[in-house]
Amino acid sequence: MTAAVLVVGMFTGRAYLDLPGADPLSAESSPASTGAAGPASPGPAPANTGLVEIETQPTGARVLLDGKPVGESPLTLDRVPAGRHTFTFLSAAGSLKRTVRVEAGRTLKLDVPIFSGWVAIYAPFVLDVAVGRQTIGTTEEARIMLSPGRHELTLTNRALGYRSVQSVDIEPGEVRTVTIDPRGTVNLNAQPWAEVWVDGQKVGDTPLARLQLPLGTREVIFRHPQLGERRVTVTVKGNAPAAVSVDMTQPGG
């Protein structure tokens, strides 16, 4: 496979990819050969390339084409091989990636906003939200502002022993929604046996092992047709299973 070399025109303010068989700088190197003192523009682009015009908001973003730096916006890239390419835009406001298809002989215009977006996190209890070691808010907030790009969010609630990491891709000006339904393990038993109801819903008969319940405080009711019922409050945590056992034959047991 023949390699293509990226060349930046120092006088023209354009960047183009130099393909084998083309010598776009030869005229610049020898102005006399054109009969004029000024620089010459590159020759016709090969038929299997296209042109990409790039603008960003704000301007001055570093631009990478398939992982390689090609300049700062605004920028025009000439002689880009036809096909799929990934552009990365880096600025103080954040970073973004765009995968596009360049068509031979045509111009592709990219106008990329690089400003903040938001994440809205829905959970049944309050979670602290952090990026790396920096806490950026809690789920009590309707939405949390983030720079564009991918973020790894660490969600924690120490009292309930919960911790998880969620990846989110933030787009400029958009709200990304994350819904959390964390659960923990509970073991339930009764002597001699009992029906079990949790928060008003029947979940089975004892013994119940490794029952998955939402984290937080839950009301558990044990019912026996002859021995009555017992009510127990249990806190379900994410870092350790909870265990509840009652003796239906004993008063208050």
Task: Please state which of the ranges 14-18, 48-52, 76-80, 196-200 shows the lowest mean pLDDT.
Answer: 14-18
What are the pLDDT digits (tens) for 201-210?
999 999 999 9
Query: What pLDDT is recorded for position 188?
Result: 97
Cβ–Cβ < 8 Å for 97, 130: no
Question: Alpha-carbon distance 211 to 196, whole Å?
Answer: 11
Task: Assess if residue 200 is contained within a domain.
Answer: yes
Residue 194 lies in a domain: yes
Confidence of residue 253 (pLDDT cuts 50, 70, 90): low
Which of 81-85, 111-115, 139-143 bottoms out in mean pLDDT, i.e. has the lowest? Answer: 111-115
Residue 252 maps to a domain: no
Of 224, 227, 223, 160, nearest in space to 197 by CA: 223
Tens digits of residue pLDDT in 35-65: 344 444 556 667 799 999 999 988 999 999 9
121 and 108 in one domain? no
Same domain? For 125 and 95 the reply is no
Q: Specify the amino acid at residue 124.
A: P
Please check whether residues 20 and 109 belong to one and the same domain: yes
193 domain residue, yes or no: yes
The pLDDT of residue 100 is 93
CB-based contact 205:180 (threshold 8 Å): no
Determine whether 33 is exposed, middle or buried from the number of CB atoms within 10 Å of its CB (0-12, 13-18, 19+).
Answer: exposed
Q: What is the CATH number of the domain that holds 30?
A: 2.60.40
Query: Considering the chain, what percentage of its residues have pLDDT values greater than 70?
Result: 81
Distance CA 161, CA 72 (A): 46
pTM given for the model? 0.65
Q: 253 lies in a domain?
A: no
Q: Identify the domain boundary among 135, 155, 179.
A: 179
- Shared domain check, 127 and 45: no
pLDDT above 50 (res 235): yes
**Contact between residue 80 and residue 14 where contact means Cβ atoms under 8 Å apart:** no
> In the chain, how many domains are there?
3
Cβ neighbours of 199 (radius 10 Å): 13
Domain that holds residue 229: 183-247
| Residue where one domain finishes, among candidates 75, 92, 113 | 113
- Lowest-pLDDT choice from 89-93, 131-135, 171-175, 212-216: 89-93
Same domain, 32 and 109: yes
pLDDT range class, residue 33, cuts 50, 70, 90: very low
Identify the domain boundary among 68, 98, 113: 113
Do 97 and 129 fall within a single domain? no
Whether residue 134 is found in the same domain as residue 48: no
Distance CA 65, CA 86 (A): 6
72 vs 95, residue with greater confidence? 72
